[in-house]
Amino acid sequence: MHRFCLAVFFAVLAAASAAAQPQTSTHQVKLNGHTFTLPEGFTIELAAGADLVPRPIVAALDEKGRLYVCDSSGSNDKVAEQLKNKPHRIVRLESTKNDGKFDKQTVFVKNVMFPEGAMWLNGSLFVAAPPHILKFTDTNDDGVADKEEVWFDGKTLTGCANDLHGPYRGPDGYVYWCKGAFAHQEHVVNGKKFSTRAAHVFRATADGKNIEPVMTGGMDNPVDVVFTPGGDLIFNTTFFQHPGGGKRDGLVHAIYGGVYGKDHDVVYEHPWTSPQLMPVLTHMGPAAPCGLHRYESDQFGKDYANNIFCCQFNLRKVSRHVLVPKGSTYETRDSNFVVSDNIDFHPTDVIEDADGSLLVVDTGGWYKLCCPTSQLVKPDVTGAIYRVKKVGAHAVEDPRGLAIDLAKADTETLEKLFRDPRPVVRQRVTDFLATRSGADNSSKSLLDRACVLGNSEETRLNAVWAMSRLREPNFALLARMVTRDGPVSTAAANVLGLHRYKPAVDTLCQFVKEGSLPVRRACATALGRIGDPAAIPAILAALSEPTNDRALDHALTYALIEIADAQATAKLLTSSNPAVRRAALAALEHIPSSNLEAKAVLAELDSPNAALRETAWWIAGRHPQWGGQLAGYFKDKLKAADQLAPIERDELTARLIKFASNTAIQKVLGESLTGATPESARIALGVMARSGSKVFPVVWRDALLAEAKHFDNDAVLRDALMALRVLPTEAKDYDTFVAQLPRVKLWPSGVVPTEFRLALLAARPAGQALDVAATNYLLHQITRDEPATDRAAAADVLLRAKLTTEQLGAIVEALHTTSPLDLAKLLNVFTKTTDEKVGLALVKALRDKTVRPALRTELVKPVLDKYPQAVKDEAEKLYAELADARKDETARLEKLLSDLKPGDVRRGQLVFNSAKTNCVACHKVGYVGGTAGPDLTRIGSIRTERDLLESVIFPSASFVRSYEPVRVVTTDDRTLNGVLKKDAPDEIVIVVAADKEERVARADIGSIAPSTVSLMPAGMEQLLTPQELADLIAFLKACK
């Protein structure tokens, strides 16, 4: 069913705010190998089985009720191969008996690239098949498309093919779609070049013209889009935020111009209206949301009117979300609607049929591309399409109105049909009037009459949206429909803004001040799009209202940005209202001609209003050249650091980091070490260490050398050594620094605490030789029985040092007693030589049965390829053994699974947190743990024991989205394997270990490509006893 057919909405929505939570009483239905759990009063049946659609992905209904289904071939080939071979298909299904069960299939399109959305519009099927949105037309109605057109060309295709999802019909006559991935795209927006790497919801007119972004985000994969009757856009997405605390994916109310999560470099290229990203509507955890639908019929009952249904691929369910107005936006009440106990139930789409039933598309177990489920791909585990119905729902005669000939209907009949209780009939009439009215004034008159206040809200909404699609809408009438409250006012304001109807400015100015919060937000958006500076006084008044919420403040601020009158906006800085000044500052920061002066921003840095103060700091941080004017401020703050609360010290550190490249601030930081309290010294040293500076500023070096004799505090010394470690230090300066340290003088030789001895060694300049004592000490520290943090630190020292052939030989021998978790890091030590003897010894060690299971060819080969031919020849034996082991991985996994003992959750938690595994260094459970690896707070709800065992034993078998590894080769021939944390135009930051990041300037990158080797090291099978492994899996499975 078309997604914007209108039904009674706002009255129901208002009632919902006072209603009880969604129905929780459930029952179970056994069907087709599943046990489905549904609310009482609903039933589920098979609508189309695997004999018709083995692996359905997405579907769309045409005006005759025929279902077009994009059906996968089961291929998980690389996307370039899929683009070339087009292995998937589209079928048309029909129910010849009209009993709700599809029994006839026609192949509509024989070959198509991986399909990721389907929409029926104006007699054609539109399908997202990255990099294109394709338009398929069956000109003779034989069930086979005989015309294929590229409706949109995104020109990008990334490894996961999430560049495109959609398209979707908007109520305004525009077509919407989602851009995912982070590939660079260029479009023409309002006559100007629009360049972006971010995620977006885009829209264009039905002919593919007038493209513009609606929303900007840092999420990986915005998927589906629906609209409220008033025109608000709701979409679902993966990775709305960096995973943590069980949160990841979500539903989002997209406010026009908003910049949403996750926090990612790509969003910094677009205008923000606040220091914070726009908020989520509903957190969903690791759901991998897919299909989304707003329910339009009355068949499920009034409590379900305009509910949103969302497919959750990973969680094997369709969820229900009741929209409840809250301020100028919404909140939701969430519950499960259809849940299967079958681990291979993966719902990917949900659509509404004309009789009010819901069709749920289950794609089955074939999908693996960029999905970190088990390597056991299951193309043989097929899917199906199910129909969910309300028990006792009333029969609907001719639900699609196929017996009605609209072309022959008179005006009176059309007016009645415009109010017809059948949603599809109403939509057909709306489409008919919108498309024929260009030549038929009687249709325009009908729409004008439908807008009269005495008509139902539903009729007036239909008329507003139909008018939006006309070539010459009655804008004056639409302006009169904007009043203080209700979805009709919101819809009318949306249409006026969409078409930039300037004569409506006076009306919009009135109700941006006087309307309800949703109406004010819609009016603000419209005023921004129209761009008339005459609206700024009204926006000033609207900003002054104390009832404003985040969504409304954004809309008002973004309106100022779009109006782009810098002179008029600057006058708002004199307002006595801090909310007005905050919005003015944020807008001026993004108006190109504003030349925002530092004094206007710096004056608000200590504002008692938190929002204004944070905005001022945010803007200041974007201008490191203002550091000179802040030097005195920061100097005073550092002097009083001991009087600050810990959170205030962290805040001061973060602010200073943004100005660390400014010479005046560098001087302040250096001078602050003289006579410093431990608190101020730690702040200054922390800023130096985190500055990202590629040079060691002289003022910092001199201060460190001069003040080293006073570093008698462990925490201060720790921070000082870290600063020396990350800044390019000369050997003589390091020696001078260490010689003055009072703590070193107090520690007798050989009794230096391990933490500090390793830190002192790690702070040595790169390329320095190691003496025998240091070498032996480090070799001891990398043995498997030492704590993981000490092993990692010792390995880092070895990587930085200049090693002799004898020392490299000693490290080769140490590989037999090293933890398998450290092998990947230690291998990089051997890139510093091409000595044949060392190479042959290394290959021999790597072939040892205690070492080899932790290796992959992709990890070892780049190292050994630099050695002489004799080493390469011997390495071929190693590669063959590794290849044989790969072939046996499935058998090994099944054997481990069958032998797995019952595990204990509490013991498993101890294993997870132990120094032996150090899982907690990279992975967070709840609020505890690192962030180098995926959040595991709810991993047990989406992964089976087999999946979990595979990820522990074979971590490179599959990768979690946003944690895909890359391999970077620098121009000086260094190889880095890890996860990209930052991907900016000037540099990248790659996480290479739980506690280590590497910054690489773009100019220093020789090559960058996807890697097949996980940041998580292999070797857990050798490291853990069978019982420890079972306990660890039990703990992970309990994380739900």
Domains of the chain by residue range: 10-390, 406-609, 624-826, 897-1037
| Per-residue model confidence (pLDDT) at position 498 | 98
The set of long-range contacts for 477-482, using a CB threshold of 8 Å and a minimum separation of 24, is 477/448, 477/451, 478/451, 478/504, 479/503, 479/504, 479/507, 479/508, 480/507, 481/451, 482/507, 482/508, 482/511, 482/515, 482/519, 482/523
Q: Do 406-609 and 624-826 fold alike per CATH? A: yes
H-run or E-run covering 882: helix 869-887
Structure tokens at 560: 């100022």
Architecture of domain 406-609: Alpha Horseshoe (1.25)
Question: What predicted TM-score, i.e. pTM, was given to this entire model?
Answer: 0.88
How many helices and strands in the chain, by DSSP H and E? 37, 36
Q: Residue 202 in contact with residue 214, Cβ under 8 Å? A: yes
| Per-residue model confidence (pLDDT) at position 23 | 53
Structure tokens at 637: 């703050």
Question: Which numeric CATH code is attached to 897-1037?
Answer: 2.30.30.100
Which stretches in the chain have pLDDT values below 50? Answer: 1-20, 374-375, 439
| Per-residue model confidence (pLDDT) at position 159 | 87
Pairing, β 259-261 against β 212-218? parallel
Query: For 402, which DSSP code?
Result: T
**pLDDT tens profile 101-151:** 999 999 999 999 999 999 999 999 999 999 999 999 999 999 999 999 999
212, 270, 621, 821, 933 from 264: Cα distances, Å: 21, 12, 17, 29, 16
Q: Which residues contact 506 (CB under 8 A, 6 or more apart)?
A: none
172, 228, 419, 728, 845 from 429: Cα distances, Å: 15, 19, 9, 72, 77
Q: Tell me the β-bridge partners of 990.
A: 980, 998
| Per-residue model confidence (pLDDT) at position 303 | 95
Tell me which residue has tokens 């006058």.
571
Distance CA 460, CA 544 (A): 32
* CA angle 117–123–125, rounded 5-degree value: 20
Question: Which numeric CATH code is attached to 10-390?
Answer: 2.120.10.30
Distance CA 228, CA 307 (A): 10
| Per-residue model confidence (pLDDT) at position 745 | 56
Architecture of domain 624-826: Alpha Horseshoe (1.25)
Q: How far is CA 96 from the centre of its chain?
A: 43
| Per-residue model confidence (pLDDT) at position 527 | 99
Query: For 763, which DSSP code?
Result: T
**pLDDT tens profile 53-73:** 999 999 999 999 999 999 999
| Per-residue model confidence (pLDDT) at position 986 | 75
Q: Which residues of 543-564 are buried (b: 16+ CB within 10 A; e: fewer)?
A: bebeebebbbbbbbbbbbbbbb
Structure tokens at 61: 């209904």
